[in-house]
Copies of this chain bind each other. A is one copy, B any other.
């Protein structure tokens, strides 16, 4: 039987057809008025999408490139920094700051959990130059409370810059970048903005620009001051990923179009879409008897599902692929085999959720022989959805 390939991975996420068409048509040179008009339009849209008055810059790199840019532009070797880590992407911050000579203090939460704010308060020192954290930790599908962390820094009169990896957080959770005081907020193209990997974007506060005047880490490709100077003329410092930028513009048009052309409202609708689909998915999976890996602080970007003792989540991922061409993500690192993850960020709709749960019911009943009934997960999800759209 026909099996359509369906990505449910938390990046890359399903591509928006309108963005695919825009990418296919993006046959232009990047030092032309045509490109400058596109680039300026997309940068202006990104400011609204991120929801900030700060500069927003685009980099032709993966999200990790923008994470590196935050480190190299804002710190100097020997700087004390605070890293908050609760998964593989938190650990990436630790690796990055060490690679560039910083001395990190680390506050950890166990995989599947978020931070105890009191623990962060206790670890924060006046000499910390920056705090690095994820908005949502994609490896465990946990949401961290960025608002509370930002408030903590303010209340402590900390000089530390707040650097947030929002790669899967943007478009799936609410941010008040300027109100809370997020100095750098990082996004990636293959997430809520519905296009392939290859672009990162980040907002940069005035405090962060000021810090760059004295930071001494080496940087060239990711030199944000140079990037800002070029952006002001409608260009990128180096050859940009032109087709992806055209696709990003089309995707942001689509997101705005979901709210009558208002991109700010469209972003709010996109976050709501992820939240409702995530809640419906969680309800469905719990109805099937699965255990959520992150029950207390679940992200709307993705849901992580712990498989029962004695079962290997790789088998689940494989069964979904083989039987339904449905691509889920396994656990990363030492979580491999213990959990699998399905995404809700970007171009997912409610009928995708229904299809996922219908497939999961077959895996649970036919493949794993669990004592479940067909329709059980779908029914639980439908109740959540019906309640959500009633409001």
> Which A residues fall within an 8 A CB radius of B?
1-4, 6, 24, 258, 269-270, 272-273, 276-277, 324-326, 347-352, 354-355, 358-359, 361-362, 365-366, 373-376, 378-379, 382-383, 385-386, 389
Q: What distance in Å separates the Cβ of A243 from its nearest Cβ neighbour in chain B?
A: 14
Q: A276–B272 Cα gap in the complex (Å)?
A: 35
What separation, in Å, do the CA atoms of A208 and B325 have in the docked complex?
A: 44
Contacts A378-B375, A386-B366 hold; do A1 and B354 have CB atoms under 8 A apart?
no
Taken together as a complex, chains A and B put the C-alpha atoms of A389 and B319 apart, in Å, by: 14
A358 surroundings in chain B (CB, below 8 A): 351, 354-355, 358, 378, 382
Q: A2-B347, A273-B1, A276-B1 are in contact. Are A374 and B366 (CB under 8 A)?
A: no
Contact at A362–B349, with CB atoms within 8 Å?
A: no
Tell me whether A382 and B355 are in contact (CB under 8 A): no
A345–chain B nearest beta-carbon distance, Å: 11
B-chain residues with CB within 8 Å of residue A375 when the two chains form the complex: 374-376, 378-379, 382
- Assess the B374–A382 pair: CB atoms within 8 A: yes
Contact indicator A379/B383 (Cβ below 8 Å): no
**A351 with B359, Cβ < 8 A, contacts A1-B273, A375-B376, A378-B378 known:** yes
**B-side contacts of A378, CB under 8 Å:** 354, 358, 374-375, 378-379
**Chain B residues within 8 Å of A386, by CB:** 362, 365-366, 374
**Using Cβ atoms and an 8 Å threshold, which residues of chain B touch A3?**
349-350
Residue numbers in B under 8 Å from A324 (CB-CB): 350-351
Q: How far is the CB of A351 from chain B (nearest CB, A)?
A: 4
Closest Cβ neighbor of A4 among chain B residues: B349
**CB proximity of A19 to chain B, nearest CB, Å:** 13
In the complex, are the beta carbons of A326 and B351 less than 8 A apart? yes
- Please name the residue on chain B nearest to A351 by beta carbon: B355
Copies in the complex: 2
- Of the candidates B2, B325, B355, the one whose C-beta lies within 8 Å of that of A273 is B2
Using known A-B contacts A354-B354, A374-B382, A375-B382, determine if residue A2 contacts B359 with beta carbons closer than 8 Å: no
Q: Bound state CA distance, A117 and B79, in angstroms?
A: 89
Q: How far is the CB of A389 from chain B (nearest CB, A)?
A: 7
- Assembled-state Cα–Cα distance A355/B273 (Å): 17
Once the chains are docked, how many angstroms separate the CA of A351 from the CA of B351?
9
Is the pair B389, A379 in contact by a Cβ cutoff of 8 Å? no
In the bound complex, how far is the Cα of B2 from the Cα of A270, in angstroms? 7
Known: A324-B351, A354-B358; 20 extra A-B contacts, CB below 8 A, are: A1-B276, A1-B277, A1-B350, A2-B273, A3-B349, A4-B347, A4-B351, A324-B350, A351-B355, A351-B358, A351-B359, A354-B354, A354-B355, A354-B378, A355-B355, A358-B378, A358-B382, A362-B386, A374-B383, A375-B376
Residue from B1, B269, B326, B366 within 8 A of A1 (CB atoms): B269
Check A362 against B347 for contact (C-beta < 8 Å).
Answer: no
Residues on the B chain within 8 Å of A325, using CB: 349
Q: What's the minimum C-beta distance from A366 to chain B, rounded to whole angstroms?
A: 6
Q: Is the CB of B389 within 8 A of A349?
A: no
Closest-by-CB residue of B relative to A358 is: B354
* Alpha-carbon distance A81/B149, docked complex (angstroms): 82
Closest Cβ of chain B to A35, distance in Å, is 22
CB distance from A178 to the nearest CB of B (A): 27
Q: Is the CB of A389 within 8 A of B347?
A: no
